Every structure is written in C-alpha cells, then in structure tokens.
Amino acid sequence: MAPLSIDPRSLNADERAVLEHILAAEFAGASQLRSQLDRTEVTAVWGPDSVSVDLQVREPCEHAALPTELVPVDAHVHDPSGAYVGEILVWTDRGATLAALEFAWVTDEMPTSLPAVVDGRLSWLS
C-alpha cells in the first residue's frame, strides 16, 4: 500500500521523543540529523491508523552523509513485561535528510501508538 499523503504538519510529541531518543546515539551524521528535527514535517502516513510516517526536512538544513539510507541504531521495542515487540527504523533520503519513521512490529496487532522512552529503552505500553 502506498503512503497516504497528508497536509504537512509538525512532528507530534511522540514522534519527536522517539526520534530524539534514536538520534541521541553517536554515529557519523547523527548531529546533522538531530539539527534537522526543528525543520522536519510529517507528509504522509503509511496507512489508516498507522504510526509509521514519511518525513520531509525543510531547507535550508545541514545534510548528513550517511553511507546508507537506514540510520545505524538498533532501536528495539519491548512491552512492559520485557518481551520484544518490534523495532523503530529511521530512514533517510540518500543518507542526507530524515525521510521516514517506521514502527516495524512483530505482534499480531498493529501498534496504535509509538513506544515511550522509559528508563532509556523504547517501551510499548499499548
């Protein structure tokens, strides 16, 4: 299914918190991606009720130079009991700007919310 375009909007609090958590990791290009957060907009959702979204960074911005389109951070998500329920993937546009935030889940039900940052871990409370 193709993403569903929406009127561009600012990141909501949950999206920003998850991105800040992941981009707090140190890797080549992390500081440039962090600097893009205030200029990042959500431009599409990946489906009805999906928490995965397409992102676009308004220019001018400082570009990163990642060697891949996927941010190199393992962002595993666990439920309150500690069970693995998926991971968060942050995608870039040719390694330069933020392009998507994806909750890749392994549960039977699609998540209806992004995970919260609890004690330095991503926890899915829903």
pLDDT in tens, 73-118: 999 999 989 999 999 999 999 999 999 999 999 999 999 999 998 8
Q: List Cβ neighbours of 38 (8 Å cut-off, separation of 6 or more).
A: none
Distances (CA, A) of 54 to 44, 78, 84, 89: 5, 23, 24, 12
The pTM (predicted TM-score) of the whole model is 0.94
pLDDT in tens, 16-49: 999 999 999 999 999 999 999 999 999 999 999 9
**Nearest Cα to Cα of residue 50 among 58, 42, 38:** 42
Main-chain phi, psi angles of 44, to 5 degrees = -160, 155
- Domain-wise residue ranges, the chain: 4-123
Return d(Cα 50, Cα 34) in angstroms, integer: 24
